Amino acid sequence: MQYYQCCKYPIEFVLSENIDKHFDSHNHVGHYVISVVMQGTVAVCWENEEVACRRGDVFIIPPYAVHSVCQGRDACLLSMCVGTALIEETDLETAEDIVQKLLLEIMEQGIFGREQREKLLASMRMLYFLRDNGRKEMDAGIKILADKIVSHPEQELSIEILAADIFVSKYYFIRKFKSSVGMTPHQFCIQNRIRKSQGLLDGEKTISRIAAEMGFYDQSHFDKAFQRIVGISPSEYIYSKKQIGQNT
């Protein structure tokens, strides 16, 4: 897997190939994902429906949409992750201009071709449609607590404390949270600890230190969770990251 992160805007490209991996049910809280199948077949399960996506197919995952992805070693998947902040704060024309420049920069490196560039760029309009028409409705209390977990996933927040915040029993809270978010509070917390750790893995801090800061028992526990959610180990992730768009 290879990660291309924009220095200036919340945009990241992920090239996933030569892996045999099933990504369990998860969601992306802070960004939209546009994926193009470049080779082979990728199985995507969303809203209890599994779809086999083949070469040239495009699928879009909005924020908080719970889904799973199964990718064989013969498949190649290109994903563009666009931060919700960009879609909320930037008009479509400006966003398309930013994305087009980034796509051209990566295409010049031979990562993908004109077909993939055009498909990703054409899909930008759908993100704005989803922003205005496809928001996932969520209980206000659950949304507040979910945002709290996203902001500070490393904090130990017990089920009892979270339930007390919205004046319900812990059993009702767990059921309500899973119904709204698509996973249990614990699963959601672990997922967001890993997401936050991805931003910290820049080589300046040791992996063991980041594991401790993110609330994991030890580095082994962190490594296993990271591998399960991201698809590669923390050290492989550090090696795979590339910076793009310095002059965009």
Give the pLDDT confidence of 103-116 residue by residue, as tens digits: 998 888 888 899 99
Q: Which CATH architecture best describes the domain 2-133?
A: Sandwich (2.60)
CATH 2.60.120.10 in the chain is located at: 2-133
Structure-token match 């496809």, residue found: 134
Are the CB atoms for 42 and 53 separated by under 8 Å?
yes
pLDDT for res 204: 76
Q: What phi and psi, each to the nearest 5 degrees, are found at residue 195?
A: -60, -45
Mean pLDDT of 138-147: 84
pLDDT for res 46: 86
Among the residue ranges 8-17, 151-160, 189-198, the one predicted with the least confidence is 151-160
* pLDDT tens digits along 210-226: 999 998 988 999 999 99
Are the CB atoms for 170 and 163 separated by under 8 Å?
yes
In angstroms, rounded to a whole number, what is the distance separating the alpha carbons of residues 42 and 39? 9
Higher pLDDT, 214 or 247: 214
**Residue 182 pLDDT grade (very low, low, confident, very high; cuts 50, 70, 90):** confident
The rounded percent of the chain whose pLDDT value lies above 70 is 97
Higher pLDDT, 158 or 31: 31
Instruction: Tell whether the model's pLDDT for residue 159 goes beyond 80.
Output: yes
pLDDT for res 134: 61
What residue spans of 24-169 are helical by DSSP H?
Answer: 84-89, 92-107, 114-133, 140-151, 159-165
| Cα dihedral 192→196→140→185 (10° resolution) | 20
Higher pLDDT, 102 or 248: 102
Continuous segment of H or E residues that includes residue 14: strand 11-17
Instruction: Tell whether the model's pLDDT for residue 248 goes beyond 60.
Output: no
Are the CB atoms for 238 and 202 separated by under 8 Å?
yes
**Residue 163 pLDDT grade (very low, low, confident, very high; cuts 50, 70, 90):** confident
* pLDDT tens digits along 183-203: 898 999 999 999 999 988 876
In angstroms, rounded to a whole number, what is the distance separating the alpha carbons of residues 197 and 234? 9
pLDDT for res 226: 94
**Residue 48 pLDDT grade (very low, low, confident, very high; cuts 50, 70, 90):** confident
Instruction: Tell whether the model's pLDDT for residue 24 goes beyond 90.
Output: no
Instruction: Tell whether the model's pLDDT for residue 152 goes beyond 60.
Output: yes
Secondary structure E strands in 27-84: 31-39, 41-46, 49-54, 58-61, 67-71, 76-83
CATH 1.10.10.60 in the chain is located at: 140-242
| CATH number for the domain running over 140-242 | 1.10.10.60
In angstroms, rounded to a whole number, what is the distance separating the alpha carbons of residues 92 and 89? 10
* pLDDT tens digits along 62-85: 998 999 999 989 999 999 999 999
pLDDT for res 7: 84
pLDDT for res 179: 87
Q: At what angle do helices 185-200 and 170-181 cross, to 10 degrees?
A: 60
User: Exposed, middle or buried: residue 211 (CB in 10 Å: 0-12, 13-18, 19+)?
Assistant: buried
In angstroms, rounded to a whole number, what is the distance separating the alpha carbons of residues 77 and 62? 17
Are the CB atoms for 87 and 94 separated by under 8 Å?
no
